[in-house]
Amino acid sequence: MNYDELCIDHAATVRDAMRQLDHTSKKILFVMEGQRLRGTLTDGDIRRFLLSGGKMDASAADAAHRHPKAAKSAKGARTLLVSGGGRLMAVPVVDDAGTLLDIVLEAEGSDPPPPQLHLPVVIMAGGMGKRLDPYTRILPKPLIPVGDLPIIEHIMQRFLRYGCSEFHIVVNYKRELLKAYFKDNQEGYCIHWYDEDRPLGTGGGLSLLKGRLRKTFFLTNCDILLRSDYAKMEEFHRTGHNAVTIIGACKNLTIPYGVVETGEGGVITAFREKPELSFLTNTGLYLVEPEVLEDISGDSPQGFPDIIDGQRNKGRRTAVYPVSEEEWLDMGQLEELENMRKKLSET
């Protein structure tokens, strides 16, 4: 078997590693220096590296797990896989010098069901969707079809996999169409509707839910879909004792020009041809504690980032959980809508 897709050079960047992980059959990479194994790398390793202050331009070796479990024979590797109780995806076979000889993968099979979180989900579905005109002249944005289903059902079905069937949906524009759609199409959803009489934004709209939620909840925009592990998000939020956790995508942007850096007197200090910048961008998915609702006023429109700033000012902990940009699908604009349709058709 050719294991090239599972191997990456130690000098490659973390950004390169994230891209390769998005396209590997197994969500693990083996970091190599020549023929020698330097470590292993998973999305969890990269997430911990970034959260500790690591940069996307750092080498993959910096983010790697330096002392992975390894075996001296294929038989020993299979024994490790069995004794690992499903925690190991692959075990490398190396000689005494650390040369990679083989990789033994876990047996193929059906994926186990995801953990059941049973958390409520709040969906902000009241916007006019002007960037998706002319579609939204006819339909509210949540009902725009992406394949066989409207986007809001893709979102809800993703949550259903994790046992999240309680949905609180804030509506405004063309809300009767949205309610009519679900009247005959419950599909195991338990839906509570909240009518905005005037636009309040993603933050102000939450004021309608005061006193209605008593435990941690997911908050999502109605035009995004995350193909990530929601249970790991919840664990990060819970163990960090966060008031709010933002799910942030590691976005990469190539500047289509040569960039000149200068010093005093215009002296050129560096020249970079089409540099690539990396940053965390807000996906529109959050985990939120119920006490946050009590601080929200419905008197004026406000975005949820304003609510987060208010929590930070109160000294409450807010944090970001990074995911790959390939796991974030957005349909906020026409071009992004077509891209979402294409990606969902491939799965």
Alpha carbons 204 and 303: distance in angstroms, whole number: 7
Alpha carbons 36 and 28: distance in angstroms, whole number: 17
Q: What is the CATH number of domain 4-105?
A: 3.10.580.10
- H or E segment and range at residue 204: helix 201-204
Burial of 3 (0-12, 13-18, 19+ CB in 10 A): middle
Q: What is the CATH number of domain 121-345?
A: 3.90.550.10
Domain boundaries, the chain: 4-105, 121-345
Q: Give 71-127 pLDDT, tens digit per residue.
A: 999 999 888 888 875 677 889 999 999 999 999 888 755 567 899 999 999 999 988
Is the pLDDT at 333 greater than 70? The verdict is no
Name the nearest CA neighbour of 151 among 330, 347, 333.
Answer: 330
* pLDDT band, very low/low/confident/very high, at 347 (cuts 50, 70, 90): low
Q: Give 278-329 pLDDT, tens digit per residue.
A: 888 999 999 999 999 998 987 788 889 999 999 999 999 999 999 998 888 8
